[in-house]
Structure 1
Amino acid sequence: MISNRTKLIILSLLTFSLILSGCSLTSGEKKKIDPPQDVSYLKEDESTTITEEEDKALQADNQSEKEAAVMTELFLIDKNDFVASKTMMLPNTESVAKQALQYLVSEGPVESMLPNGFRAVLPPDTMIHGVNIEDGKAIADFSSEFKNYQAEDEEKIVQAVTWTLTQFDGVDSVEMRMNGETLTEMPVNGTVLASTGLTRNQGINIETEAVADITNTHPVIVYFIAQNDDDYYYVPVTKRASNTETDRVTAAVNQLIAGPGYESELVSGFLPDVKLLETPKLENGQVTLNFNDAVLGSYEKKMISNHLLQSLVLTLTEQQGIESVAVKVDGSTELVSGDGEPLTEPVTRPTKINADRF
């Protein structure tokens, strides 16, 4: 079994090689080889010049395609059985929330778009009767086929539906129904569904194996790194932090540093000797962190790796009231990202999480 530290070293080497080749780690893009193009030959009197009218028509077509699509985060199941998101370009419809659930159905429209190693979470032939949003709650009504899932997928379905719907503005919680009847528990394994609605606070990819006394802990959502071939993506995990850690930002950072469980396929971008030098400061939605120099991926360049930065920003902006993250090392702000860009401004949450190239 490869330890987390060994996996981290391998990841760091891969990250360094990507930096040398000029690849951005934050984009989630994969290198693609262009397919062979048909070859045609022009006669001497033929012209390749595009007229002004043709150029305007092409621009109008491109604009129409952009307006006809909407980037949507779909929570799926990856090859390691984690619930993880992929941002996909879906048709722009009046009900984007309903459409998002339709793209969670196995053997449905998402099948041709699924990245390698991912699968949809809802049973085949599940119909979405509707998604109504009332007072911050999204009420999702499924057909009878919704109950045709494997017991081991039950909690993953609850998490995927909840996290997919709560990405939308105005949605804080989710209620699930089947043929118009409110579900108080899931139909296969009896997972209890909160009567007040499902929220992100109830967790995702819950990790409790190393917790001796769960009653003296509180949940913390952190983002670790997963790899599928040449693709890196970020997976939210609910860990348990000690109630003695009263500062929520410090608790989250410490869980990132501690990393995932020993046998987990996930890795953290943080080395174990990374430490916060002072209590984080939160003001006007911006949290400022001051680390020791172990957080640096390159001491000479004062570089913080993109993987570490992305995990940190995703983790902290998951918390209410945090919109951006500013990083210092030994009090200095003279830092650069893995792309060599100065980190002179606070970093905000990306609008496209785990997005493929479009």
Structure 2
Amino acid sequence: MKHQHWIRSAALAGVIVLLTTGCSILGSGKKSDIDAPPGASTDVDAKTTSAAVTVDMSGDITSQMTVYVKDAKGFVTPLSLALPKTVSVAKTTLEYMVDGGPETSQLPSGFQALLPKGTKVISLNVKSDKSAIVDFSKEFLNYDVKDERKLLEAITWNLTNFQTIDKVQLRVDGKDLKEMPKGKTPLDAPLARTMGINLEKSEDTEFGQATPVTLYFLNQNDQNYKYYVPVTRLIKRTDDVAKAVVEQLIKGPDQKKGLGAVLNATTELKSIKPGEGLITVDFSNKLLGTDQKASADALQSVILSLTENTTFKQVQIKVDGAVKITSTDNQNYSKPVLRPTHINPAIKL
């Protein structure tokens, strides 16, 4: 009973946050670019950007696209896989999120698809109001109750990556789902990114007085594959979301959950300023290591987290006002940086 109560409370948290903050912070128009292959035609994916395309050993054309799966610690995590070139890219990504499906061979150790075995995506239709109606076969209902919210997060965050989709409505065999049958998560309103992902709440924060920020921390599997995990943290209400994002990255992950910090606790934020199309973050020189380089993981996390929570598409990073920054992987960060097109590539194209 307690478990069901938590699922319902967590599902409602995004709605509560919107009522208390007065705006949709996580659904503010920013999307991570999901790539449609060249020549993709008339469906939802036609407005997305061109993909990195390769030819696999069988001669089939594939594109690198993002799906949301579960890692060994239970976190819902984006992975970029090589999926076949199809007309309906969004529908294909869902099909590759079915347990036991064709994605299995591509998943790194410890990762598992969340859609139940045998689930079929009967249809995916996108309306003019950017709502996607997904019709699954009855096998969709054969999920484990402990994964109910994770399943909803994976579907919602996967589809809302597409620039033409802002909200998601679920059907099974043509009938609208009003609630999930096992944990009773309500589905009377369309699902949106505002529901958060891997939701957690700061101890000093109340649901009715909270602002959500989605932060990208690090995790690693048993084969040393390192990847970013998005965590939506409810913090005390604030109007300066961008500053709060960086401060929470410095604060780091909940130690009990086993994620790795991206910024050192001694990191100092000097200023954060919005501009036209970009946001500029100025750190003290404590961002740099003894080699005078900034951690590549830290810089990528800052970029992912800021572009996730704001409408800015580019991030300019400075250290003591200077833009001549080199990362530990020898990338030059002297110019504004766009959000990465592919998060957590599981393959190399």
TM-score bracket, shorter-length normalisation: 0.7 to 0.9
CA distance in 1, matches of 2:148, 2:57: 39
Letter in 1 for 2:305: T
Q: Where does the alignment leave 5 or more consecutive residues of structure 1 unmatched?
A: 1-60
Query: Paired residue for 2:340?
Result: 350
Which of residues 212, 219, 222 in structure 2 aligns to 1:219? 212
Aligned pairs for 1:256-267 within 5 A: 256-267=249-260
**Segment of structure 1 superposing worse, 107-116 or 135-144:** 107-116
TM-fit CA distance, 1:261: 0.9
CA distance in 2, matches of 1:91, 1:261: 37
Larger radius of gyration: 1
Letter in 2 for 1:169: Q
After superposition, the C-alpha distances for 1:317-340 in whole angstroms (9 at most, x for unaligned) are: 113421111111122222211123
Query: Paired residue for 2:330?
Result: 340
| Secondary structure of 2:78's aligned partner | strand
Letter in 2 for 1:286: L
CA distance in 2, matches of 1:341, 1:103: 32
Letter in 2 for 1:114: L
Which of residues 148, 151, 164 in structure 2 aligns to 1:154? 148
Which of residues 323, 326, 346 in structure 1 aligns to 2:316? 326
After superposition, the C-alpha distances for 1:63-92 in whole angstroms (9 at most, x for unaligned) are: 998982122101000000000011001111
1:308 aligns to 2:303 (yes or no): no
1:248 aligns to 2:238 (yes or no): no
1:273 aligns to 2:266 (yes or no): yes
| Secondary structure of 1:337's aligned partner | coil
TM-fit CA distance, 1:210: 2.5
TM-score scaled by length of structure 2? 0.80
Which of residues 233, 236, 243 in structure 1 aligns to 2:227? 233
**Do the aligned residues in 2 keep the contact of 1:129 with 1:141 (CA within 8 Å)?**
yes
Aligned pairs for 1:66-215 within 5 A: 68-135=61-128, 136-195=130-189, 197-208=190-201, 210-215=203-208
Cα 1:73–1:160 shift into 2, 3 Å? same
Letter in 1 for 2:199: I
Cα 1:219–1:194 shift into 2, 3 Å? farther
| Secondary structure of 2:255's aligned partner | coil
After superposition, the C-alpha distances for 1:23-64 in whole angstroms (9 at most, x for unaligned) are: xxxxxxxxxxxxxxxxxxxxxxxxxxxxxxxxxxxxxx9599
CA distance in 1, matches of 2:196, 2:91: 22
**Do the aligned residues in 1 keep the contact of 2:204 with 2:236 (CA within 8 Å)?**
no
**Do the aligned residues in 1 keep the contact of 2:115 with 2:140 (CA within 8 Å)?**
yes
Letter in 2 for 1:254: E
TM-fit CA distance, 1:259: 1.0
Query: Paired residue for 2:11?
Result: none
Letter in 1 for 2:229: V
| Secondary structure of 1:336's aligned partner | coil
Query: Paired residue for 2:48?
Result: none
Backbone CA RMSD of aligned residues: 2.0
CA distance in 2, matches of 1:78, 1:352: 18
TM-score scaled by length of structure 1? 0.78
Identity level (%): 37
Letter in 1 for 2:240: D
CA distance in 1, matches of 2:202, 2:209: 15
After superposition, the C-alpha distances for 1:247-296 in whole angstroms (9 at most, x for unaligned) are: 11001111111111121211121111222112x11112211011122222
CA distance in 2, matches of 1:221, 1:147: 28
Q: Where does the alignment leave 5 or more consecutive residues of structure 2 unmatched?
A: 1-53
Cα 1:190–1:321 shift into 2, 3 Å? same
**Do the aligned residues in 2 keep the contact of 1:73 with 1:88 (CA within 8 Å)?**
yes
**Do the aligned residues in 1 keep the contact of 2:125 with 2:134 (CA within 8 Å)?**
yes
Count of residue pairs brought into register by the alignment:
293
Which of residues 253, 276, 282 in structure 1 aligns to 2:274? 282
Letter in 2 for 1:143: S
**Do the aligned residues in 2 keep the contact of 1:260 with 1:267 (CA within 8 Å)?**
yes
**Do the aligned residues in 2 keep the contact of 1:210 with 1:261 (CA within 8 Å)?**
no
